[in-house]
Structure 1
């Protein structure tokens, strides 16, 4: 028997998507830049992007970090490389912590991180950003889906305290009274919960644990961190790793960016936030939350965001994340600067945001991408 839930509101979904505004393509480089129309590229990209400004001399970029944005980077780089002869984007993944570390060692042109640079990391970046420092550019937005694999349970509802207790081995059975109370009438199995968490230092983990800190009512006793601190469970590497485990293992649960849930055909739990209806893990519902994000960076070049994990507004999905592309505001390598700016500008463009939006990510509001484009244009 499938779980029963209140009907979805089509009007809400339409209204949420209206928040996702068109973004303007930021061009960089000289007037005689190599500008070509790119064909459709990358898995999940449904439409060919508009003309991409490639910069005067496209070259190779090396980057690493967040695996949550891995599917998005694949799409963006395929489109960019197809349009810009001579350009390559080698993105190594490895997790947000590894990406920031490599950036501050001067090994890569930009890092992807699902959490903004901490003060000590900004200070460390000054050693490689000559005359400048690393800045946070929010460019890939998504949501953290609570993915699960329980036979016969298609519409699971959970809340923050229950999710926190599951991942800390305080709730170990699928038919636990706390889960049953959120899912009246459901045939929850008398089976052990197989919970999977990230083993790498992960910005996705940090965002999840920030959510726990704000909303679990003390059920999660650990500080928010990229490193997993909960008791029990099993580990896997990267978003792809935990998603693969949930797909293979019955009665399992984990957390991954929505794109990985879709790629692996995994079910996602709705979250009881205290609103009238449980909020489903959709891009439209995440867009409602991003529309109210506030910029909290230390200066005009730092666009770190404050996200409301504790929102109770109707149709606002609380478990969201934004991946920052971290680059030097000054002191970038001269031979890769134009290509770096061109790739980041394409990512912020209407075409780039649409391409990754078609793959389960959340296009960012124009009010934010306008600010991002201003910072990208000033990178030196």
Structure 2
């Protein structure tokens, strides 16, 4: 299991350099982006101190990464700690906007239509919140189906599974993508996130973009497919899918692996694509930053509808949502110290946790934004 995980992670490390090309980074000189941040991260100064006990809440997809960051933070800044509640992206944003935590973790950006951007600005004393992407990872279509270890799905077929248009594993549409496979006459049991989740938002954006009109339910952090059984958090859906033959869910790669789920290939129009280092790298190559200045919002939607051969199209980035200004001096100092550690020495343990360490050039973009927090 760990070998598979490291394969995907290594692909993300290599592909992270390509992300900077797509973003137009001035710092992406030849060879610079291909190096992990871990190599010289210890040289980045960290000004410890300020608030002793920070609090944050949100994305369960990044919980294991945050645990790694907290450990590194405590080693670098003795007596300093962060308490992270992996309650889901939606809950994290609500707690941040309600001034109940110091920052939020979210798998999708703040929503203007829901008033989240305005609420965050109010919470930040009239200043905008920034999105700082610290954790990257692919989303797996994880399933458990006895006798079927190799399965291909398309965006259109996945949409029909998750909105109830396809109910049986031997449906002709699935069979057409899996010539020669012995598919059972078994009911498909959809498992979805019942709590508000950025993973759900990204997954539904993918379905909306890649399904050729089969997904009409829209996107958002609440699952809108109208079928299946809901479970809370990434661990909850992965555990539920892993316990029932015929189940399928959408979940971050590490959770799918931990629960021994099979992972479907995705046919984006150019043939079946396995989730691995090369295919994830090709997908991240298309990512662009659509935020301005130090607000590093990524435009991943362009990936979802791509028909690039060999590109795995289902990815997410997890943001730390922070106030650009508006913290008291002690809180700002501690947040900057924690995020600096997270973006530098904290990256060293991410591969073992199933995530992708930041490439050096993207690390520098994050450090610039972190330094500007006030």
Identify whether the pair has TM-score above 0.5, normalized to the shorter chain: yes
Q: 2:327 matched to which residue of 1?
A: 332
Quick check: 1:302 aligned with 2:298? no
- Alpha-carbon separation, structure 2, partners of 1:232 and 1:104: 31
Tell me: higher relative CO, structure 1 or 2? Use CA pairs within 8 A at least 6 residues apart: 2
Q: 1:19 matched to which residue of 2?
A: 15
- Alpha-carbon separation, structure 1, partners of 2:176 and 2:260: 27
- Alpha-carbon separation, structure 2, partners of 1:101 and 1:330: 19
How many angstroms does 1:211 deviate by?
0.5
- Alpha-carbon separation, structure 1, partners of 2:39 and 2:104: 20
Q: 2:261 aligns with which of 263, 266, 270?
A: 266
Q: 1:283 to 1:109 in 2, by over 3 A?
A: farther
Q: 2:20 matched to which residue of 1?
A: none
- Alpha-carbon separation, structure 2, partners of 1:376 and 1:26: 20
TM-score (normalizing by structure 2) = 0.86
Q: 1:231 matched to which residue of 2?
A: 226
Quick check: 1:315 aligned with 2:310? yes
Contact kept, 8 Å, 2:9 with 2:354, in 1: the verdict is: no
Contact kept, 8 Å, 1:270 with 1:279, in 2: the verdict is: yes
Q: 2:343 matched to which residue of 1?
A: 348
Q: 1:242 to 1:100 in 2, by over 3 A?
A: same
SS of alignment partner, residue 369 of structure 2: helix
Quick check: 1:60 aligned with 2:53? yes
Q: 1:35 matched to which residue of 2?
A: none
Q: Which has the higher helix share?
A: 2
Q: 2:197 matched to which residue of 1?
A: 202
Which 10-residue stretch deviates more, 357-366 or 114-123? 357-366
- Alpha-carbon separation, structure 2, partners of 1:25 and 1:365: 8
Flag structure 1 segments of 5+ consecutive residues without an equivalent. Answer: 1-11, 28-48
Quick check: 1:183 aligned with 2:178? yes
For residues 152-194 of structure 1, give each alpha carbon's deviation from its aligned partner in whole angstroms, at most 9, with x where no partner exists. Answer: 2112111101111111111111111111111111111111111
Contact kept, 8 Å, 1:65 with 1:100, in 2: the verdict is: yes
Q: 1:176 to 1:304 in 2, by over 3 A?
A: same
- Alpha-carbon separation, structure 2, partners of 1:220 and 1:159: 12
TM-score (normalizing by structure 1) = 0.85
Q: 2:162 matched to which residue of 1?
A: 167
Quick check: 1:91 aligned with 2:84? yes
For residues 343-368 of structure 1, give each alpha carbon's deviation from its aligned partner in whole angstroms, at most 9, with x where no partner exists. Answer: 2122222x433422333223344443
For residues 327-358 of structure 1, give each alpha carbon's deviation from its aligned partner in whole angstroms, at most 9, with x where no partner exists. Answer: 00001232222221122122222x43342233
How many angstroms does 1:326 deviate by?
0.2
Q: 1:14 to 1:105 in 2, by over 3 A?
A: closer
* Number of residue-to-residue matches in the alignment: 346
Q: 1:135 aligns with which of 130, 140, 146?
A: 130
Flag structure 2 segments of 5+ consecutive residues without an equivalent. Answer: 1-7, 17-33
Q: 2:243 matched to which residue of 1?
A: 248
SS of alignment partner, residue 94 of structure 1: coil
